[in-house]
């Protein structure tokens, strides 16, 4: 639809953004440039002091690094699990494939709180996962999953996997199966065909899914709070703490702005990479 006649269809969305979301973002970005003057208030003068503090303080630095690390691990994990799954579902419309997809989809509809609590039980030192690992003789002592990146990554990958698969699926579907047939007919094995044909053509979906999962993960709150516990202080948890416990709006806003900037940088990087591998059709 190249006709401009339909442009008005985006107006409701633009109005909602302009009146609700943009002012919210602008206001916390603005607050981040003012000094804190006590719980719940900021002074009128302009300053970069909040940023100096956030970027200089070890607690905030660690929080940021952990958030980025968790984002990267979660992206990698959901991609490693999601890519083959999306490929399988897109290529084999068998009953089993549909069942797998339905299971995944339904599980993504479960309340995030319930899933977080479920992982606490599953990953506990006396939980079934440690039980099985010990039974198989793979470990002597229980692995501690609670309160560290290991357990949190497992829970986050589970949480984000459906979003990764749902983003990859349409892209996979759009790759004609004839290309894979052509590749095999010219002497390529399955792995070579996937590497040289499927992966490059699925790249837009891989990038979009990775961005989505990354943004979801570094701003996630509920699962980090439940599975990460109080000791694993990620940026999203620190923001909550500044905003609702210490009422330091200036620092809270600054942390939020830094997260926002981080996501923006990743989006720009991804579109540069994506632009280079773009396939016009």
Partner 1 sequence: MDQDTVVLSLRQLTKHFGGVVAVDGIDLDINKGEFITLLGPSGCGKTTTVRMIGGYEEPTAGQIIVDGQDITNVPARDRNFGMVFQDYALFPHMTVSDNIAYPLRMRKWARDRVAGRVSEMLDLVRLDGMGKRHPWELSGGQRQRVALARALSFSPRLLLMDEALGALDAKLREYMRVEIRRIQRLLQITTIHVTHDQDEALGMSDRVVVMRQAKIAQVAAPRDLYTDPTSVYVADFVGRINLLWGHVVEHAADATIVELDDPFPPATATRIRARRTPDQAVGSRVRVGIRPEAVRLVEGGGVLAGVVSGARFGGPLEYVTVAIGPDRTLDLLRRPGDAPPQGNVLLDWAPDQALVLPAD
Query: Residue 43 phi/psi, 5° resolution?
Result: -85, 170
Among 29, 72, 100, 188, binds partner 1 (CB under 8 A): 188
What is the smallest separation between the CB atom of 278 and partner 1, expressed in angstroms?
9
Alpha-helical (H) ranges within the chain are 11-16, 22-31, 49-56, 58-91, 95-109, 112-123, 128-135, 149-174, 177-185, 190-193, 199-218, 222-223, 235-244, 249-276
277 makes contact with partner 1 (CB under 8 A) = yes
Contact 256, 239 (CB under 8 A): yes
| The one segment of 5-13, 41-49, 87-95, 273-281 that binds partner 1 by CB under 8 A | 273-281
281 makes contact with partner 1 (CB under 8 A) = yes
Residues in Cβ contact with 260 at an 8 Å cutoff, skipping those fewer than 6 apart: 25, 29
Helix crossing, 58-91 with 249-276: angle to 10°? 40
181 makes contact with partner 1 (CB under 8 A) = yes
**Secondary structure of residue 266 in the 3-state scheme:** helix
197 makes contact with partner 1 (CB under 8 A) = yes
Q: Closer CB to partner 1, residue 114 or residue 280?
A: 280
191 makes contact with partner 1 (CB under 8 A) = no
Distance in angstroms (rounded) separating the CA atoms of residues 205 and 191: 19
Q: Closer CB to partner 1, residue 183 or residue 248?
A: 183
- Binding mask 26-55 toward partner 1 (x if CB under 8 A, else -) reads ------------------------------
Among 132, 170, 189, 195, binds partner 1 (CB under 8 A): 189
Q: Closer CB to partner 1, residue 43 or residue 176?
A: 176
What is the smallest separation between the CB atom of 277 and partner 1, expressed in angstroms?
7
Among candidate residues 155, 161, 157, 163, the one with its CA nearest the CA of residue 226 = 155
What is the smallest separation between the CB atom of 198 and partner 1, expressed in angstroms?
11
Contact 119, 93 (CB under 8 A): no
| The one segment of 77-85, 91-99, 197-205, 259-267 that binds partner 1 by CB under 8 A | 197-205
Give the CB-side neighbour count of residue 116, counting CA atoms within 13 A: 14
Among 184, 208, 260, 270, binds partner 1 (CB under 8 A): 184
Among 35, 38, 84, 176, binds partner 1 (CB under 8 A): 176
Q: Closer CB to partner 1, residue 29 or residue 203?
A: 203
DSSP state of 142: P
Burial of 251 (C-beta count, 10 Å sphere; 0-12/13-18/19+): buried
Task: List the structure tokens of 217.
Answer: 């993960």
Distances (CA, A) of 272 to 16, 175, 275, 278: 29, 22, 5, 10
185 makes contact with partner 1 (CB under 8 A) = yes
Among 52, 135, 182, 273, binds partner 1 (CB under 8 A): 182
**Which residues of this protein are in contact with partner 1, per CB under 8 A?**
176, 178-179, 181-189, 192, 196-197, 200-201, 277, 279-281
């Amino acid at each position: 639809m190249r006709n401009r006649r339909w442009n008005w269809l985006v107006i409701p969305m633009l109005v909602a953004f302009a009146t609700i979301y943009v002012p919210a973002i602008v206001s916390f970005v603005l607050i981040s440039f003012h000094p804190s003057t006590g719980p719940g208030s900021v002074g009128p003068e302009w300053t970069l002091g909040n940023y100096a503090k956030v970027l200089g303080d070890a607690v905030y630095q660690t929080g940021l690094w952990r958030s980025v690390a968790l984002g990267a691990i979660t992206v990698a994990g959901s991609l490693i699990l999601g890519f083959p799954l999306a490929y399988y579902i897109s290529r084999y419309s068998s009953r089993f494939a549909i069942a797998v997809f339905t299971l995944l989809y339904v599980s993504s509809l479960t309340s995030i709180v319930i899933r977080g609590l479920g992982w606490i039980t599953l990953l506990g030192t006396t939980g079934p996962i440690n039980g099985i690992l010990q039974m198989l003789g793979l470990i002597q002592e229980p692995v501690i999953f609670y309160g560290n990146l290991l357990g949190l990554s497992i829970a986050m990958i589970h949480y984000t996997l459906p979003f990764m698969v749902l983003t990859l699926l349409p892209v996979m579907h759009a790759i004609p199966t004839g290309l894979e047939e052509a590749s095999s007919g010219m002497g390529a094995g399955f792995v070579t065909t996937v590497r040289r044909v499927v992966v490059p053509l699925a790249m837009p979906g891989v990038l979009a899914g990775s961005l989505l999962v990354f943004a979801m993960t570094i701003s996630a709150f509920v699962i980090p709070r439940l599975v990460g516990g109080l000791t694993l202080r990620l940026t999203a948890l620190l923001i909550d703490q500044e905003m609702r416990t210490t009422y330091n709006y200036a620092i809270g806003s600054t942390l939020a702005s830094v997260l926002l900037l981080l996501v923006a940088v990743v989006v720009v990087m991804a579109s540069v990479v994506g632009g280079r591998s773009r396939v016009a059709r």
